[in-house]
Amino acid sequence: MTPGPGIQHDVRMSGFVERKSFAEVWKIIQDRIRPGEAESTSLRDACDRVLAEDVVSPVAVPCFDRSAMDGYAVLAEETSGASDYNPLEFQVIGEAYPGRAFEGRAGPGQAVKVMTGAAIPDGANAVMMAEYAEAEASRVRFRRQVTPGKNIMRAGEDVARGDVVLARGRRLRPQDIGVLASVHRPAVLAYRSPTVAVLITGNELVEPGQAADGTCIVDSNSYVIGGLVRRYGGIPMHREILPDRAETIRAAIRECREDLVVVSGGSSVGEEDYAPGIVRELGELVVHGVAIKPGSPFGLGFIDGRAVFLLPGSPVAAMVTADAFVGSAIRRKLGLDVGFAYPRLRCRLLQKVVSAIGRTEFVRVHLHEDFTVEKLRVSGSSILTSTTRADGFLVIDDAIEGYPEGSMVDVYRYGS
Amino acid sequence: MTPGPGIQHDVRMSGFVERKSFAEVWKIIQDRIRPGEAESTSLRDACDRVLAEDVVSPVAVPCFDRSAMDGYAVLAEETSGASDYNPLEFQVIGEAYPGRAFEGRAGPGQAVKVMTGAAIPDGANAVMMAEYAEAEASRVRFRRQVTPGKNIMRAGEDVARGDVVLARGRRLRPQDIGVLASVHRPAVLAYRSPTVAVLITGNELVEPGQAADGTCIVDSNSYVIGGLVRRYGGIPMHREILPDRAETIRAAIRECREDLVVVSGGSSVGEEDYAPGIVRELGELVVHGVAIKPGSPFGLGFIDGRAVFLLPGSPVAAMVTADAFVGSAIRRKLGLDVGFAYPRLRCRLLQKVVSAIGRTEFVRVHLHEDFTVEKLRVSGSSILTSTTRADGFLVIDDAIEGYPEGSMVDVYRYGS
């Protein structure tokens, strides 16, 4: 694309030697960032963690035939012909409760009273519901016939011994933890949550609440990046804000021992943009400049095998690149593929949205109750409140010029 | 509805004096459970918490006019007529960087070099992009004219002083925390996460991994309920498993000091179902029996103003009622309305789904990539693995008999 006065974005980016596409950066992250170690994790801490093993059940669940109803356990064949007009009488020889089995055996003409969840006694193969039985002292009359297996939950009906109940790569849900408990696993192997160093650079930045002279602004990026790191399953490790000095930034990057390093600010090609040169000097700068909007002054390098992400300082650009690239790197460390942490919805666009071919655009949208969406009006990459007013975003591929009004589009939804 | 042999569910439920509808139970929770206290919460811990105040910005963001580009700050009017054929020359009298303002004033014929984010010096009202400028020593020639305000981010453009940036009831997202930082709030008032006592009853229950004789089963409900409590924003407080003995359960319920109490198991009308009677004895049993499937043997009462939830012991029924009712109670404690914690998607049903009028049904479904769904084949209320195989569920209102094939339905999606 030839830079020209009408295409400010590309004019600004003329300083980048080679802009990668969004898909190329995702492919680099997918290929070069490998899953981290696994660690034993107790069930009470396992929710939302990612499973690092296939869990094979050593047991059947339930491990015995259970009654699915309150009623009477009998040999089904003996109830043949029972009806309202021809009730058949049995002797009640005992009771079975959950956790308290009847130890004897039901013989001919005999039944055992059972509660839901109780073990089916030997000699019985069906449960007559209490509603079709009339009990009187130790006798009971059945007004229905039952077939073998009726009202019985068979051993192994939930889980068979040897079943893979949950597979590696599963982000564990509450019900998954229940299933892990039910197959007698007090702990599982889960991927260790990756640590992420969050380095914020900028002479103009202060902490919230800190007295500031008239030309300082508050660092918001560390809060947004920290929250996103947690959302994707990582652990953010914050530092003091760094001044725009090459030697300070270099030292801070070199000292990082976290699994991933994020540097916010100074990622472009301006005078005080030191980070790209430092990564090139200490390791390999694989990406510098990406054909996305917002977020084009993004860089990605590797130092001693550790991925270093260079995020633009502009708040919306920092958020978009943290979401798309740092988030995907955390997912890779957790054994997952690159992707977003947000639910994907199919929505109808209320107005056309235009985009430039050759650039992937992230468009913040309002989402209505009826699954229609419209583009937010204010969307400058410095307007952080545009990300709080938005309900989500859509991604316009670099191969298309946008979408006409009425198109069905995929929307990633913030919040739940 | 008249119980009859074809309607097993209703026959079983005949022991309930008055079954409430799903909507009635939600209304009781909405009306009777009040938001809890608020507490000051530092920004680093505020993600996913619910805001208990309207946050009004005491400042404008940014609080000064900033350059949106690298270039030269000038008085726009002085660039009038500049073009490639008629470049206009200015004197460069200084530089401004982010956090390092130029202290002087730009007079006639003068410009100040500015980097993106730097304060606009006095006397200037626009920024000429570097691409349209040719600098040589302390002189610069402009090849374009600019209008007042060009390439300047105005003070207050992101947030105006006095703006409500986020409102009470907001579940805080990473970007929200960034905005709170940017308006100088190091902490906010958030609703205190409610504590939830989780009492599991059942003689047959053991802990995962614990040696068990042939008719015991592992307690999975405490894990599922605990995970759901966290998902909705509460803090689960677990106890030892309780035997089915009225005095033990009574003592355990009375001792609870948590904001909410959940008792799993023994919630129905059978011999060993002690919990409903205990709640009636100690306080008020408002709900006993709900017209839902699964989960009908659900109860809700209040003891000394504390809500006590009685969940069926059957794993799927326990999960559904914890999701729908305990989850909604946690939401109320957090100042939110009753509802589910899952993203809602609009999907197309691949086959018809039938349901009984007079009963709200929760149907577990498979969700495909193209937003079509189909009902899970196995769905007994004891089959916990049906909830791990499912990708989500749909709720069939008690006023309809189900949905024909091809219907568009709302699906609540597990996981993200």
| DSSP state string for A177-242 | HHHHHHTT-SEEEEEPPPEEEEEEB-TTEE-TTS---TT-EE--HHHHHHHHHHHHT-EEEE-PPB
Of A214-218, A281-285, B72-76, B274-278, the one with minimum mean pLDDT is A214-218
- How many independent structural domains does chain B possess? 4
CATH assignment at residue A147: 2.170.190.11
More confident residue, B18 or B191: B191
Tell me which amino acid residue A14 is. Answer: S
* Together in a domain, B198 and B315: yes
Q: How far B82 CA lies from chain A's nearest CA (Å)?
A: 15
Q: Do B217 and A387 touch (CB under 8 A)?
A: no
Whether residue B214 is contained in a domain is answered as yes
* Together in a domain, A54 and A103: no
Whether residue A339 is contained in a domain is answered as no
* Together in a domain, A111 and A181: no
**DSSP annotation string for A279-323:** HHHHSEEEEE-BSEES--S-EEEEETTEEEEEE-SSHHHHHHHII
pLDDT digits (tens, 9 = 90+) for B289-332: 999 999 999 999 999 999 999 999 999 999 999 999 999 999 99
Three-state secondary-structure class, residue B387: helix
Question: ipTM for the complex?
Answer: 0.93
CB half-sphere exposure, B51, CA atoms < 13 A: 21
CATH assignment at residue A44: 3.90.105.10
B385 vs A179, A244, A343: nearest CB: A179
Give residue A375's domain range: 344-413
Give yes or no for a cis peptide into A62 (omega within 30° of 0).
yes
pLDDT at A379: 64
Find the mean pLDDT for residues B350-378: 95
Whether residue B2 is contained in a domain is answered as no
* Together in a domain, A206 and A321: yes
pLDDT at A416: 58
A208 vs B43, B159, B221: nearest CB: B43
Q: Which residue of B has its CA nearest to A341?
A: B416
pLDDT at B48: 96
Tokens coding A97 = 């409760």
Residues B232, B331: Cα–Cα separation, whole Å? 7
Model confidence at B6: pLDDT above 80: no
* Together in a domain, A217 and A289: yes
Whether residue B14 is contained in a domain is answered as yes
Q: Which residues make Cβ contacts (< 8 Å) with residue A128, sequence separation at least 6? A: A71, A72, A73, A74, A79, A111, A142, A144, A146, A150, A151
* Together in a domain, A315 and A361: no
Model confidence at B209: pLDDT above 90: no
* Together in a domain, B145 and B107: yes
pLDDT at A270: 81
Tokens coding B65 = 């006019």
More confident residue, B64 or B215: B64
* Together in a domain, A227 and A327: yes
B117 vs A47, A204, A341: nearest CB: A204
Q: Which residue of A has its CA nearest to B414?
A: A173
Model confidence at B360: pLDDT above 70: yes
Query: Phi and psi dihedrals of A61, rounded to 5?
Result: -125, 120
Q: Do A385 and B165 touch (CB under 8 A)?
A: yes
Three-state secondary-structure class, residue A72: strand
Tell me which amino acid residue A132 is. Answer: Y
Whether residue A2 is contained in a domain is answered as no
pLDDT digits (tens, 9 = 90+) for A173-231: 999 999 999 999 999 999 999 999 999 999 999 999 887 667 889 999 999 999 999 99
* Together in a domain, A119 and A187: no
Pairing of strands A205-206, B299-303: unpaired
Q: Do B11 and A153 touch (CB under 8 A)?
A: no
Chain A environment of B343 (Cβ under 8 Å): 343, 345, 413, 416
Of A236, A175, A207, A243, which is closest to residue B391 (Cα–Cα)? A175
Of B22, B26, B34, B23, which is closest to residue B332 (Cα–Cα)? B34
**DSSP annotation string for B352-381:** -EE--TTSEEEEEEEE-TTSEEEE-S---T
Q: What is the largest CA-CA distance in chain B?
A: 98
B158 vs A185, A208, A382: nearest CB: A382
H-helix or E-strand spanning residue B22 = helix B22-32
Cβ-defined contacts of B3-10 (< 8 Å, 24+): B5/A144, B7/B356, B8/A129, B9/B293, B9/B296, B9/B356, B9/B359
* Together in a domain, A199 and A305: yes
* Together in a domain, A200 and A230: yes
CATH assignment at residue A314: 3.40.980.10
Model confidence at B12: pLDDT above 70: no
> Helix, strand, coil shares of chain A as percentages rounded to 5?
20, 30, 45
Whether residue A316 is contained in a domain is answered as yes
Residues A390, A379: Cα–Cα separation, whole Å? 10
pLDDT digits (tens, 9 = 90+) for A128-185: 999 999 999 999 999 999 999 999 999 999 999 999 999 999 999 999 999 999 999 9
Of A300, A326, A315, which is closest to residue A364 (Cα–Cα)? A315
Whether residue A84 is contained in a domain is answered as yes
Tokens coding A197 = 């160093």
Residues B349, B376: Cα–Cα separation, whole Å? 12
Query: Between the CA of residue A55 and those of A34, A51, A187, A189, B386, what are the distances in Å?
Result: 22, 9, 11, 9, 16
Find the mean pLDDT for residues B195-206: 96
Test the B interface: residue of A220, A238, A321 with most B CBs within 10 Å: A220
Residues B227, A48: Cα–Cα separation, whole Å? 9
More confident residue, B216 or A255: A255
CATH assignment at residue B366: 2.40.340.10
Q: How far A33 CA lies from chain B's nearest CA (Å)?
A: 22
Residues B292, A344: Cα–Cα separation, whole Å? 29
Q: Residue A83's Cα: distance from chain center in Å? A: 54
Whether residue A1 is contained in a domain is answered as no
Provide the mean pLDDT of chain B.
93
pLDDT-based confidence at residue B379 (cuts at 50, 70, 90): low
**Which spans in A13-93 are helix H?**
22-32
Residues B360, B23: Cα–Cα separation, whole Å? 9
Low-confidence ranges of chain A (pLDDT < 50): 1-14
Three-state secondary-structure class, residue B67: strand
Q: Which residue of A has its CA nearest to B172?
A: A415
More confident residue, A3 or B175: B175
Residues B219, B242: Cα–Cα separation, whole Å? 11
Test the B interface: residue of A182, A262, A316, A369 with most B CBs within 10 Å: A182
- DSSP state, residue B79: G
A214 vs B63, B180, B216: nearest CB: B63
Model confidence at B108: pLDDT above 50: yes
pLDDT at B212: 66
B176 vs A97, A119, A388: nearest CB: A388
Chain A environment of B11 (Cβ under 8 Å): 129, 131
Three-state secondary-structure class, residue A325: helix
Q: Which residue of B has its CA nearest to A61?
A: B217
H-helix or E-strand spanning residue B277 = helix B275-282
pLDDT at B8: 37
* Together in a domain, B216 and B275: yes
Q: Do A270 and B70 touch (CB under 8 A)?
A: yes
pLDDT-based confidence at residue B11 (cuts at 50, 70, 90): very low
Chain A environment of B62 (Cβ under 8 Å): 217
Q: Do A203 and B270 touch (CB under 8 A)?
A: no
